[in-house]
Structure 1
């Protein structure tokens, strides 16, 4: 499948507040090395809010996107499709911190897995969930035998017979390995690990949780924008796939936000690809042409036209 870059337009997502030197290097790669016909560089949250505004019957004046990924979580408010740069908040907690902490906990309690990042990341995705009643779940996790509804055995892959690890159903969870298997017993780790998204200080990371950071970001905005922001919260990124995430996020925001505001959260069916879907939608519109920089413009004006046009 051959692609002629000279006739191809491209949308690229960049990290928030990317260094100018990196942005310029990227411009050179796209325009000088590959010679694309036109380029649009933006943030994933812009594409998410673009798709969200096109999906709602009346495009909202304001929306706020939580983008919680592998390295960081960002909270990005938008007004009429424009990012409010001064109110963007970053929380240094993402899927990587969760996986690393789970590795430490399992290594300390059961089995040395510090080198098994890929496997433990899979364990996290298969077994962990966000608790909406943390203390009650903690009490349940202390119980023994059938009364403990939380504990699960996770069978690790051996890459000969078991190609991918899997969770044993509750009725088969005994805490004992069958012939030749290696298991990890997952008990309160199932919900204590994702709790770091909401209380990073539990492991000494001096940050707000994602819900608290969103409420704080909205509080820095003009008062007339706040009700619109609270009623248009978009949840994206891989951590949103943890069962119970959107319910817990809503509950935490509701408990911290002023009572007079209605709160509405939008959780896409696939929060990982939502920004990509927004990009695909944008690529086929006239709006793309206004936002993108063509090769001719780049050749005439250089990096300055990219700096003016792209809102990174």
Structure 2
């Protein structure tokens, strides 16, 4: 990110704490639609991660595991291999989907699990990925073009139209979304509640905006017209924004919601594994942290799935880092050595081996 007041210096990760004025932050994203397009920015991020200030890992001494998006393009995989083997002098490398690491994490705690569905609702997309006997079943993979970025942008538009121009305040409105929004269990009933007068209305809240002197991050409070601080009045926005995950057609995206996609994914697999898939559904990614998300998925799936099948929805303890925890477990598993691409293999076969080797995993 860069700040309007400090344009010369980019902020990576928790360096944002050093920014004197976070009100004018704008993102510099190396990814678009989940795929790397700006290598200079991505290289800046990697340089920081591997610096003494952050991690200071010696890649020439230990294996490196990097997550990549599903169905990643071969030129991107080859470029990652080239950067890590030639610039960072990595000893060995593994490119793997984050859903595969989430599956590995889940399977480690449930060794008897024969099949599992990982629902990864992140920044750009929501993916539903079935795993059967440790293998990713490609025909069952579903993608919804709704992620946290779209939700934040839609909230910016609604607030700008109704109250205050915030189209340039992505960082702040993203925090508003995280602190205020929840998933409704009955959308139409909550919509009726939101029409009630202030005082009776339990949904309407005021969000106190940060001033970056006394308040570094905003917070919710009960509606109050006497407040001296700048506030946003939030009402049905609190649940209508996450509702897009379950009904993308609300914003013109002609796709089914998460629950229907999970059932479509299950039906794409052999019928004999349906009960195993439905009883092992794992929710990961930042959007799964919305209050009520797990309950809504269960409620809708219970209506869609055959009555004789048990449904078990598992929400990761920390959905943001669940895949990372899986990578941490994998790094201690002897099987890792058979998955890695070594420096010797790279020097013998070149970057093209990356896509050939890693596209067959899990």
Quick check: TM above 0.5? yes
User: Matches of residues 241-256 of structure 1 in structure 2 within 5 Å?
Assistant: 241-256=289-304
- Aligned mates of 2:256, 2:226 — CA distance in 1: 40
Equivalent in 31, 34, 39 of residue 93 of structure 2:
39
Shift of 1:307: 2.9
Output one character per residue of 1:196-240: Cα deviation in whole Å (capped at 9) or x when no partner.
Answer: 000010111111111111111111111112111111101000001
Shift of 1:177: 5.0
Output one character per residue of 1:99-143: Cα deviation in whole Å (capped at 9) or x when no partner.
Answer: 111111111111111111111110000010001111111111110
Q: Which residue of 2 aligns with 1:73?
A: 126
8 Å contact kept, 1:68–1:94? yes
Q: Which residue of 2 aligns with 1:30?
A: 84
Q: Which has the higher contact order (CA 8 A, sep 6+)?
A: 1
8 Å contact kept, 1:128–1:191? yes
TM-score w.r.t. length of structure 2: 0.82
- Aligned mates of 2:356, 2:113 — CA distance in 1: 26
- Aligned mates of 1:206, 1:111 — CA distance in 2: 30
User: Matches of residues 141-290 of structure 1 in structure 2 within 5 Å?
Assistant: 141-168=194-221, 170=222, 173-174=223-224, 176-179=225-228, 181-290=229-338
8 Å contact kept, 1:10–1:40? yes
TM-score w.r.t. length of structure 1: 0.94
Output one character per residue of 1:143-200: Cα deviation in whole Å (capped at 9) or x when no partner.
Answer: 00321011000011122332221111x3xx22x2522x21110011111110000001
User: Matches of residues 80-159 of structure 1 in structure 2 within 5 Å?
Assistant: 80-159=133-212
- Aligned mates of 2:347, 2:145 — CA distance in 1: 38
CA-atom RMSD in angstroms? 1.4
- Aligned mates of 1:304, 1:145 — CA distance in 2: 62
Count, aligned residues: 306
Secondary structure at 1:163's aligned position in 2? coil
Shift of 1:245: 0.4
Secondary structure at 1:77's aligned position in 2? strand
Kindly indicate which of the two structures has a greater share of residues assigned to helix.
1
Shift of 1:304: 4.7
Relative to structure 1, the CA distance from residue 261 to residue 37 in structure 2 (aligned partners, 3 Å threshold; closer, same or farther) is same
Secondary structure at 1:7's aligned position in 2? coil
Q: Which moved more, 1:299-308 or 1:230-239?
A: 299-308
- Aligned mates of 1:104, 1:4 — CA distance in 2: 45
8 Å contact kept, 1:153–1:185? yes
Shift of 1:5: 2.4
Equivalent in 54, 58, 72 of residue 4 of structure 1:
58
